[in-house]
Amino acid sequence: MAKYSGALEAARLDDVFGALADPTRRSVIGQLGRGPASVGDLARSSPMTLPSFMKHIRYLEAVGLIHTTKEGRVRRCALDRERLAVVDGWLAEQRAIWEGRTDRLEQFVTSTDANDPRQEHV
Amino acid sequence: MAKYSGALEAARLDDVFGALADPTRRSVIGQLGRGPASVGDLARSSPMTLPSFMKHIRYLEAVGLIHTTKEGRVRRCALDRERLAVVDGWLAEQRAIWEGRTDRLEQFVTSTDANDPRQEHV
DNA sequence: CCTATACTTAGCCGAGTGGCAAAGTATTCA
DNA sequence: TGAATACTTTGCCACTCGGCTAAGTATAGG
């Protein structure tokens, strides 16, 4: 789960990409894309035991891709779409590099330290 | 590095997302986006030892994000952009699930607005 | 031929991931 | 009240990851 001190955006990328690197977690994201659901609902489509499944839920929550609330004995999960934007941002940045323009789009998308005159690669 | 038997696409997603979950590897991809480079060139921007760095190179190569060739005593690395398309594909799939029609990057990145009746949070 | 360069191989290590089973807690329902 | 439901906690385990050092191999250059 990557513990950076300064590079916030990089830490988020580590976390989010790491979260997406697992089929169970991607499946959860896919299901929550259709609307909120309880842990039990989500777990039903997975072959693993509940404690194991819960680890994935907590991982996703820690990373900020989902958030959960307890309602009675049920834990309801919902997607936090905006966290996925860092992926789009990174991809856009790469395309900007390929196309030789290291400027506006990238600046906009990775808006963590916008007052930093680009200079870090190599 | 996930070894699936049937689910090819899922395995690729595991691998590619896994590859992107590391800052050293993302940095390599970023550098190679500007053109091919030797292992030494790439490693120079990283604080780690060469053997450690090489592991990342081999990881990226195994996943299909880069390919390398040996020229004399130098190993030249180059980016395989098309492998990154699986990420685009997955994101598009998610967007299709929760928005149904939006596919413009800028709009997605900026879309923290919720004019969609299906979601109450965010 | 000798040396510097550019990896490469081998082996070790601590931390983290991803899974399990068993037992516990808190609600809900009859 | 008592039982079923829906997690939750605890503890264990195998394996991978990401880093290291040390030593080896293969060119390139002088």
Alpha carbon of A108: minimum distance to chain B alpha carbons (Å): 10
* Of residues A3 and B65, more confidently modeled: B65
Q: What angle (nearest 5°) sits at the alpha carbon of residue B109, between those of residues A58 and A43?
A: 25
* Of residues A118 and A20, more confidently modeled: A20
Each residue's pLDDT expressed in tens, for chain B with a length of 122 residues: 665 655 677 789 999 999 999 999 999 999 999 999 999 999 999 999 999 999 999 999 999 999 999 999 999 999 999 999 999 999 999 999 987 543 444 344 433 333 343 433 33
Bridge partner list, B69: B76
pLDDT of residue A64: 96
Contact status, residue B19 vs residue B60, Cβ threshold 8 Å: yes
Local confidence band at A103 (pLDDT 50, 70, 90 cut-offs): low
Question: Tokens 């800052």 sit at which residue?
Answer: B23
* Closest partner CB to A91 (pick from B45, B88, B93): B88
Interface test with A, best of B3, B9, B109 (most A CBs within 10 A): B109
A106: tokens are: 């990238």
Express each pLDDT in A8-45 by its tens digit.
777 899 999 999 999 999 999 999 999 999 999 999 99
Domains of chain A: residue spans and CATH:
8-80 (1.10.10.10)
* Of residues A59 and A106, more confidently modeled: A59
Chain B touched by A13 (CB under 8 Å): yes
